[in-house]
Copies of this chain bind each other. A is one copy, B any other.
Amino acid sequence: LGATESLARLVSETTWDAIADQAHHARRSLLNFFATGIGSAHDPAVAAGLSVLAPFSGPATSALIGRGERLDMMGAAFLNAVSANLLDFDDTHMATIIHPAAPVAAPALALAERLGAACTGRDVLTAIVLGVEVECRIGRAVSPGHYARGWHITSTCGVFGSAAAAAKLLGLPAAGIATALGIAASQSAGVVENLPSAAKNVSVGGAARNGLYAALFAQAGWGAAPLAIDGPLGWARAMGDAPDMDALTGSLGATWEIAVNTYKPYPSGIVFHAVIDACLALREELAGDAVESVLVEGSALLLARGDRPVRTERDARVSIHHAAACGLVLGRAGPHEFSLAVVNDPVVVALRDRVRAALDPALPDGAARISLVTQSGRRIETTVRSARGGLDHPLSDADLEAKLRDGVRQNGSALDADRIIDAVWSLDQAGSVAPLMAAAAGL
């Protein structure tokens, strides 16, 4: 059995019963997806994107989360994926650094809205589990060389996850699912060089939309090469080296990638999370003492990513200094603490100026040691080796609910957070996704 056929057969044969024990992972992923998508839904980039897409929408079947408008499922899938991923505050599959939900949940939900009562909550949860599985399996098979070569793995692998989820919801047979994956291979795109720019949105949104097209073209009878993914002139070799076939198909159906999905507590680069955690802990010990100086020690990666001046929100999200200020001065690090007003707050600026970063090659990536001197001369220190939100310290369901509430606050419109939370937790009981999407769009 070729790799594509193996994946297609898994997608085809897996029923709700087989993934029911993964469904809570899928619901957690969805709650996080709505938290970040709703939070960023009124960002000017999303509004500009909508202005581009709206003239090219067919009959509007699918809602824009965190907003009132509808578009056809292609436009809604694109834009909801963009919102969810905009600040890289969405979920992270640590083995690949894929953000799994945006390119999979956005198209699955948009298609499910179009299908209406033909598609239950369980159908969507099943499709999302399988889409994430395909996306992250393919990502593992080409990691780490693929990302290192310049491929934005969330985009390039996301289109396979979208295609798999869509093909499952459309009820394609295994051969059709394999074709959809093969067609997805010819639409996989997105370069790392563009990550600091809005061009990132185009590949993330494109992955969501193009996976839907892949499934529809397959349904309409267009074919694909049987080895589009793993053949000699296929996707994996073009985009990297030979794929790791064991990562692609080993233990298929016995392990689930959605079970190792993680959720960020803070809208900053993931390497800064240990800095924030450590500073939040030290803030307790400060007990009101003023800070004289802060030394942040960490790996070369931490310093390379985060030791530079801060002027914008984007700078703040990848700053050691701002991470420390959030923990020590503000006592929290939600979306508000990375807004321009807070970034330019003189008290925050003053704390950032007291922070110095230094290399400790003995510390692993993702860890941080903070050594702090108070103005009264007291020295305190702490080291965090695995930050909140990682696999060792997963966010609780309550943490994710709080993150959703933060997203609703950031959104600024009158969305009902409880209604969204309830609709996500009870999605496996819902006859369609309509109540969930109505809640998430404020309809």
Contacts and interface: CB of A to CB of B under 8 A. Distances in A.
Interface of A: 44-45, 48-49, 51-52, 54-59, 72-74, 149-152, 155, 179, 182-183, 185-203, 206, 210, 213-214, 216-217, 219-225, 227-228, 231-235, 237-239
A51 B219 CA distance: 11
The 10 closest A-B pairs by CB, nearest first: A150-B238, A198-B222, A193-B234, A199-B224, A192-B233, A150-B233, A189-B189, A186-B203, A193-B233, A193-B231
Contacts of A203: 186-187
Copies in the complex: 2
A235 B193 contact: yes
Given A186-B203, A193-B233, A199-B224, 8 more contacts: A52-B217, A183-B199, A186-B190, A186-B206, A189-B189, A197-B224, A198-B223, A199-B222
Nearest to A214: B202
A381 B289 CA distance: 99
Nearest to A215: B52
Contact of A228 (B44, B194, B210, B239): B194
Residue among A57, A203, A220 with the highest chain B CB neighbour number at 10 A: A220
Given A56-B58, A150-B233, A213-B52, A225 B202 contact: no
18 contacts: A56-B58, A149-B238, A150-B233, A150-B238, A182-B197, A182-B199, A186-B189, A186-B191, A186-B199, A186-B206, A193-B228, A193-B234, A193-B235, A196-B225, A197-B224, A198-B222, A199-B222, A238-B239
Given A58-B58, A198-B217, A220-B52, A227 B193 contact: yes
A222 to B, nearest CB: 4
Contacts of A191: 185-186, 228, 233-235, 238
Contact of A200 (B74, B186, B220, B238): B186
B56 A193 contact: no
A206 B187 CA distance: 8
A256 B282 CA distance: 65
A220 B152 CA distance: 23
Contacts of A73: 56
A98 B155 CA distance: 25
Contacts of A194: 182-183, 185-186, 224-225, 228, 234
B187 A201 contact: no
B150 A222 contact: no
Nearest to A57: B58
Nearest to A239: B238
A72 B193 CA distance: 31
Nearest to A179: B199
Contacts of A186: 152, 155, 189-191, 194, 199-200, 202-203, 206
Contacts of A219: 52
Contacts of A58: 54-58
A185 B202 CA distance: 10
A230 to B, nearest CB: 9
A304 to B, nearest CB: 14
Given A220-B48, A227-B193, A228-B194, A234 B55 contact: no
Nearest to A114: B55
Contacts of A44: 221
Contacts of A48: 217, 220-222
A351 B216 CA distance: 42
Nearest to A209: B56
Contacts of A55: 58-59, 72
Contacts of A238: 149-151, 191-192, 239
A197 to B, nearest CB: 4
A227 B238 CA distance: 21
B225 A52 contact: no
A185 B197 CA distance: 12
A54 B59 CA distance: 10
Contacts of A199: 179, 182-183, 185-186, 217, 222-225, 228
